[in-house]
Structure 1
Amino acid sequence: MRKSIVIKKGLSSDMRFDLKDGAGSDAVHTSPVYAYAVCKLATDTELEGVGLAFTLGSGNKIVCDAIEYLVKHIEGKEIYELMSDFGTTYKKMADDPNFRWLGPHKGVVQLALAAIVNACYDLWAKAEGVPLWKLLTDLSPEQLVNTLDFSYYEDILPKHEAIELIKNQKAGIASRENIIKTGYPGYDTSIGWFNYSDEKIIQNVEAAMDNGFAAMKLKVGAQNAAHDIRRAELVRKVAGDQATIMFDANQQWTLPQAIDICSKLKELNPFWIEEPTHPDDVFAHMALAKAVDVPLALGEHVPNKVIFKNFIQSGCMSFNQVDAVRVGGVSEFILISLLSRKYNIPVVPHVGDMGQIHQHLVLFNHITLGHPALLLEYIPHLREYFKSPAIVKDGKYLTPLEPGMSADLLQYEYSY
């Protein structure tokens, strides 16, 4: 008989980590402090749920304050009962009348929601004694969709259609489960942070290839476009014509600038160009996609399912970079992944969690939803702070086996 596990109290932790020597820098965030707003769910057992939202500095405390408020929606709830109809509770949290005006469904409130939601899924997987990917892949289609909130998706992906989509993927599950043994392909996003010198980039590209990475990403978005082009040409030259190269502008360009620079970067055969302009500007991305025939990767800073819905319908999104520690956690990630699957847009998540949670989610996406196993971003800078850090060998994520979503952090004191 299944043991009852009641959430007694939800707490937040403000955890920040200084980066060294230019790591993590991009065209906008030139001196980032990686930070997690952590939600911990204490229960009437020894189990504890841990969920993360990712930020970049002092704003982290505001997210923690929001967690302390919103977590009241799940305190006192039994975890199995909660997750059996989690979509209903999710909607109540997202639409809390005292906080909704601050969004709705974006910014600080959405980040706090992500941390709480992720903690619920973590506790659920720990209660079952399995890793999150196993929990999710073992759920029936009906159980899975009951964890989702289909508000504003009724016109494009109603609940019954989502169930059928999942059922239609069952035929290929056995072959797709091979990914558990082979590992999920990763790409090295740390070869070319914005503040890195040319010499360091060359060293990093060579090291990445020695470590089995066939794909890597360079930060662009400098005030001087010639600087970007030169560094992009350098990476292509060192990595070779067969390497998979991506360029990430971190929203730095206006539409005219994006059209001009993307036209030049196209000559280097990028796998994608990421966040070329403002992340809310769907029409600018549509115009760019029409003007320059280059794949666009979008979603790192897209905050919710509705804007993802617009991007997916628009036809300008080549790769979906939904991040479960920015949107409303695992629940909203799965819903967005379902819609992306309907439109045959592959999901290659941005990993604000450093890949800890997303290593589970891409396995689920591939096995259950039939998404192609393309790539998962790898950022190693916070490995030492996790109890069970993601393991990448020969350029592939090894399948995590510990119960939960791999989000548990070691105790760490940060002064601010």
Structure 2
Amino acid sequence: MIQKIRVNDARFPLAKGAGSDAIHRDPIYSYAVTSLIDDSGIVGTGFAFTLGEGNDLVCKAAEFYAMQLKGRDIEELMADFGSVFNQLSNEQQFRWLGPHKGIVHLALASVTNACYDLWAKKRGLPLWKLLNDLSAEEVVSTLDLSYLEDELTAGQAIHLLKENLAGKDKRERILQTGYPGYDTSIGWFNYSDEKVRENCKKAIAEGFTAMKLKVGSTDPERDIRRSHIVREEAGDSVKVMLDANQQWTLPQALKICKELQGMNPYWIEEPTHPDDILAHKVLADAIAPTKLALGEHVPNRIIFKNYLQTGSAGFIQADAVRVGGVSEFITISLLCRKYGIPVVPHVGDMGQLHQHLVLFNHISMGHEALFLEHIPHLQQHFVHPVKVTGGVYQTPMEPGSSCDLKSLN
């Protein structure tokens, strides 16, 4: 039974230039951390990701949600978590502040993720194993499929999971080989050209076969020059992604994306405003076969549904510490599986939680094990930091979701 609730505002300043992009020039990586403590002393840890200011507001909202779980048994909660999620996300007064987006939805992510961590720790299992051991019916009972009935009913979701039982044993081999990563830290926006070149060489030496560069400069020539630096250092066999972090208007994006196609990007990420689905559709059609990657700032499953329906996303980057937590992440992954679109999460968690979720996506859902973003900046702050060797995530074996922070233990 959940006896105590604790919510902490954890902020971590970064080294100069680290984490910078075209819009967010001076981030402070921050977590609104929910701790759910049960009567046996087990602590379930979950968090949502922010860039500093406003993190305290997310904490305040998380307290509101978490208090509603006090006195509840975690097994009882998770047996029908889809209903719990639906009730919390539609609490009449808090819903007005969203609905299903912004501060209140980030807060729900923090609490939801703490529930999944407590559930896994209570069972003594790493989260990836707990999820992969569930039946299709048990998985779907943890999901809120409301507003998706036109695309994905509970029955259809169960059928999809059962369809993908074939080959599950073979896909479990990834537990031994590890899940491929890509280096997103080679080209933060504020890094000099020289540092970008140096970081590319380092990433290649460390075994990465994919990497990402931040673009969106006032002068497009800077983006073009830097993208060609990365391609030159990486060679043609390495996947190079470009990330504009919403900087361009549609007319700007149409012009610069066509120019950037010259260096053969694997994808172009967040080219314009994340709410402008139709602009992404226009752009996707204009620059085909180059694909768009979307989702870092897409707040909920309904907007993801619309992106999939319009065919404007080549890769979906749902983030369980930015949408409503693990439950909504799995829901979005199921939608993507129906549409045959890869899920390559944005990792506001620095990969700690998502290393579990991509293993579930691959093993139980049949998603391609493409790669997972790797950002090393906060490793020293985690009790069980991710282990990336030779550009590959090593399978975590400790119980839970790997989200415990040293400062809170």
TM-score (norm 1): 0.97
Task: Specify the alignment match of 2:251 in structure 1.
Answer: 256
1:232 positional shift: 0.5
Task: State which of 372, 389, 393 in structure 2 corresponds to 1:393.
Answer: 389
1:10 positional shift: 2.1
1:115 positional shift: 0.3
Task: Specify the alignment match of 1:3 in structure 2.
Answer: none
SS at match of 2:248: coil
Letter in 1 for 2:14: L
- 1:23-62 Cα deviation digits (max 9, x unpaired): 0000011111000000000111120100010000121000
Supply the distance in 2 between the matched residues of 1:245 and 1:279 (Cα, whole angstroms): 22
Task: State which of 173, 181, 188 in structure 1 corresponds to 2:183.
Answer: 188
SS at match of 1:170: coil
1:411 positional shift: 1.0
- 1:231-289 Cα deviation digits (max 9, x unpaired): 00111111111111000000000001101111011111111000000001000000001
SS at match of 1:151: coil
SS at match of 1:328: coil
Task: Specify the alignment match of 1:54 in structure 2.
Answer: 49
Letter in 2 for 1:89: V
Task: Specify the alignment match of 1:337 in structure 2.
Answer: 333
Supply the distance in 1 between the matched residues of 2:73 and 2:263 (Cα, whole angstroms): 54
Q: Single out whichever of 164-173 and 403-412 deviates more from structure 2.
A: 403-412
Task: Specify the alignment match of 2:305 in structure 1.
Answer: 309
Letter in 1 for 2:241: M
Q: 1:9-408 alignment to 2 at 5 Å?
A: 9-293=4-288, 294-408=290-404
SS at match of 2:212: strand
SS at match of 2:368: coil
Q: Single out whichever of 352-361 and 266-275 deviates more from structure 2.
A: 266-275
Supply the distance in 1 between the matched residues of 2:164 and 2:300 (Cα, whole angstroms): 25
- 1:143-164 Cα deviation digits (max 9, x unpaired): 1100001110111100000000
1:320 positional shift: 0.5
SS at match of 1:13: strand
1:412 positional shift: 6.6
Supply the distance in 1 between the matched residues of 2:50 and 2:324 (Cα, whole angstroms): 14
Supply the distance in 2 between the matched residues of 1:190 and 1:291 (Cα, whole angstroms): 29
Letter in 1 for 2:212: K
Supply the distance in 2 between the matched residues of 1:246 and 1:290 (Cα, whole angstroms): 18
Question: Unaligned stretches of 5+ in structure 2?
Answer: none
Supply the distance in 2 between the matched residues of 1:267 and 1:150 (Cα, whole angstroms): 41
SS at match of 1:69: helix
Supply the distance in 2 between the matched residues of 1:331 and 1:181 (Cα, whole angstroms): 26
Supply the distance in 1 between the matched residues of 2:327 and 2:43 (Cα, whole angstroms): 19
Question: Unaligned stretches of 5+ in structure 1?
Answer: 1-5
Provide the aligned C-alpha RMSD in A. 0.9
Runs of 4 or more above 6 Å deviation: none
1:72 positional shift: 2.2
SS at match of 1:62: helix
Supply the distance in 2 between the matched residues of 1:289 and 1:136 (Cα, whole angstroms): 34
1:213 positional shift: 0.2
TM-score (norm 2): 0.99
